[in-house]
Amino acid sequence: METIVTRFPPSPTGYLHVGGARTALFNWLYARQNNGKFVLRIEDTDTVRSTQASVDAIFEAMRWLELDWDEGPYFQTQRFDLYREYLQKLLDSGDAYYCTCTQQEVEAMRQKAMAEGSKPKYDGRCRERGLPKSDNAVIRFKSPLVGTTVVEDVIKGNIVFQNTEQDDFVVCRSDGAPTYNFVVVVDDITMGINTVIRGDDHVMNTPKQILLYRALQSPLPVFGHVPMVLGKDKTRLSKRHGAMSVTAYRDMGYLPDAFINYLARLGWSHGDQEFFTRQELVEKFSLKNIGKSAGVFDTDKLTALNADHIRAASVRQLAPRVLPFLRGKGHDAADDDYLAGVIGTLHTRSKTLVEMADGAHFYYREDVRPYDGKAAKKFLKPETARVLTLLAEQFEKLADLAEKTQEGAFKRVMDQTGLGFGKIAQPVRVALTGTTVSPGIFELIEVLGKARVLNRLKAAVDFIESAGS
Active centre residues (catalytic): 239
Residues sharing a CB contact under 8 Å with residue 83, sequence separation 6 or more, in sequence order:
172, 178, 182, 183, 186
In 3-state terms the chain splits into helix, strand, coil percentages (rounded to 5) of 50, 10, 35
* Long-range pairs, 46-51, Cβ under 8 A, ≥24: 46/11, 46/13, 47/77, 49/11, 49/13, 50/11, 50/12, 50/13, 51/12, 51/13
CA gap 18, 112 in Å, rounded: 41
* Structure letter (DSSP) for residue 68: -
Whether the Cβ atoms of residue 16 and residue 10 lie closer than 8 Å to each other: yes
CA gap 330, 364 in Å, rounded: 9
AA letter at 434: G
Judge residue 261's burial from the number of C-beta atoms within 10 Å of its C-beta, 0-12 exposed, 13-18 middle, 19 or more buried. Answer: buried
- Residue spans of beta strands (DSSP E) within 163-314: 170-172, 195-199, 222-226, 229-230, 295-296
Preceding peptide of 219 cis, ω within 30°: no
AA letter at 443: E
DSSP 381-413: -HHHHHHHHHHHHHHHT-S---HHHHHHHHHHH
Whether the Cβ atoms of residue 329 and residue 361 lie closer than 8 Å to each other: yes
CA gap 261, 275 in Å, rounded: 7
Helix extents (H) in 255-397: 256-264, 278-284, 299-312, 315-328, 337-346, 353-359, 361-364, 373-379, 382-396
Whether the Cβ atoms of residue 437 and residue 379 lie closer than 8 Å to each other: no
How far, in Å, are 216, 356, 420 from residue 412 at the CA level? 87, 33, 11
How far, in Å, are 108, 124, 126, 146, 411 from residue 113 at the CA level? 9, 12, 17, 18, 92
Preceding peptide of 132 cis, ω within 30°: no
